[in-house]
Amino acid sequence: MVKKLLLLNGPNLNLLGTREPAVYGSSSLADIEQAAQAQVAAAGAELSCFQSNHEGALIDRIHAARAEGIAAIVINPGGLTHTSVALRDAFAAVQIPFVEVHISNVHQREAFRHHSFLSALAVGTICGLGTDGYRYAIDFALKKR
Ligand code: CA2
């Protein structure tokens, strides 16, 4: 069976490449998704990508992932990382392994970014490695049984 992965991006990440390049780099979300598609296809697997500025839409996508047989999720939850019990509950409900990615090093930033509601449920987290973090997370997800 073909392995299926899901790449999720939360609020404001549709703005990547347009503002704050010193913090978030110069790649657009389309660049990141295209590179991820190529990486996953080269491994003979399948990738779906989804970005939303709406918490409920992300939760609905996570619920649908279970029925689709998604093996693992890579997510940058954006600001919802630090606020969303509901997103955490969605991951707890579907029991799909996920990797949490942050482009910036949240621990070098404001104190409110130091806590994540998701990290304790994640298989692992990557932060501060720029947009390369997505590639490392997908590489891990492809290898994970
Ligand atoms: O470092 C990350 O990837 C973050 O998840 C990004 C979130 C932030 O709230 C987290 O603390 C850390 C913000 C995403 C905003 O994305 C933008 C991209 C370009 C221009 C403006 C915002």
What pLDDT does 145 receive?
A: 79
Q: Is 90 exposed, middle or buried (0-12, 13-18, 19+ CB in 10 A)?
A: buried
Written as six digits, the tokens of 46 are 């399948």
pLDDT tens for 105-121 read 999 999 999 999 999 99
What pLDDT does 97 receive?
A: 98
**Which residues line the pocket of ligand 1, CB cutoff 6 A?**
12-13, 15-16, 19-20, 24, 76, 78-79, 81, 102-104, 106, 113
Average pLDDT, the chain: 97
The pTM score is: 0.98
Percent of the chain residues past pLDDT 70, beyond the cut = 100
Written as six digits, the tokens of 119 are 């990290």
Distance in angstroms (rounded) separating the CA atoms of residues 49 and 19? 22
Q: Is 42 exposed, middle or buried (0-12, 13-18, 19+ CB in 10 A)?
A: exposed
Q: Which of 29, 31, 102 to mutate to test the pocket of ligand 1 (most atoms within 8 A of CB)?
A: 102
- Spatial CB neighbours of 142, under 8 Å, sequence gap ≥ 6: 3, 5, 39, 40, 43, 45
- Is residue 91 a contact partner of residue 98, using CB atoms and an 8 Å limit? yes
The answer on pLDDT for 139 being more than 90 is yes
The answer on pLDDT for 88 being more than 90 is yes
pLDDT tens for 43-80 read 999 999 999 999 999 999 999 999 999 999 999 999 99
User: Is residue 136 annotated as part of the catalytic site, yes or no?
Assistant: no
The answer on pLDDT for 2 being more than 90 is yes
Residue identifier of the C-alpha nearest atom 19 of ligand 1 = 16
User: Is residue 114 annotated as part of the catalytic site, yes or no?
Assistant: no
What pLDDT does 76 receive?
A: 98
